[in-house]
């Protein structure tokens, strides 16, 4: 589903991602425009959570490593979804050609 070149590019970005998503975020403490709005309007995020992988972390692992693992997991799920869609479209195509 993914070419070797695409996989290499994705892996490189994944390995570099904790530098920007974890290390620099902690060092520089930067935030998104939505955080500015939330601060001004005093909005609070709901505490309710449904996943142990919240904010791309894996319980028990260093944040940078959890970030990479979560990224890899996300890519795997996307590839699986792409495979399912391709198979489903292929089956429909056969049904159409038979009818």
Partner 1 sequence: MHIPDGYLTPEVAGITLLITLGILLVATRKISLEKKSVNEKIPLFTALSAGIFVAQMIAWPIPGGTSLHLIGGALAGILVGPWLGVLSMTLVLLIQCLIFHDGGLTAIGANVLNMGIVGVLVGYTVFKIIQRISRKVWLSSFLAGWLSMTLAGLACGIELGISWNSTLPLYVMTSWHAVLGLVEGLITGGVVSYLTLKLPKTVWWS
Least distance CB 11 / partner 1 (angstroms): 9
Q: Which residues contact partner 1 by CB under 8 A?
A: 1-3, 6, 9-10, 13-14, 16-17, 20-21, 24-25, 28-34, 36-38, 40-41, 43-46, 48-51, 53-56, 67, 70-71, 73-75, 77-79, 81-83, 85-86, 89-90, 92-93, 96
Closest Cα to residue 26, out of 72, 57, 53?
A: 57
Do residues 67 and 77 make contact, with C-beta atoms less than 8 angstroms apart? no
Only one residue has tokens 């972390």, namely 57
Handedness of CA 25, 28, 32, 36 (dihedral sign): positive
Closest distance to partner 1 from the beta carbon of 52 (Å): 9
Residue 17 or 65 having the CB closest to partner 1: 17
Contact by Cβ (8 Å): 22, 61:
no
Q: How far is the CB of 5 from partner 1 (least distance, A)?
A: 10
């Amino acid at each position: 589903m993914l070419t070797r070149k695409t996989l290499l590019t994705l892996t490189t970005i994944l390995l570099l991602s904790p530098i920007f998503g974890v290390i620099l975020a902690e060092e520089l403490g930067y935030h998104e425009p939505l955080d500015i709005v939330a601060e001004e309007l005093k909005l609070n995020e709901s505490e309710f959570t449904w996943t142990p992988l919240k904010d791309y972390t894996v319980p028990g692992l260093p944040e940078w490593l959890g970030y990479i693992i979560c990224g890899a997991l996300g890519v795997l799920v996307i590839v699986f979804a792409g495979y399912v869609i391709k198979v489903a479209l292929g089956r429909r195509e056969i049904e159409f050609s038979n009818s």
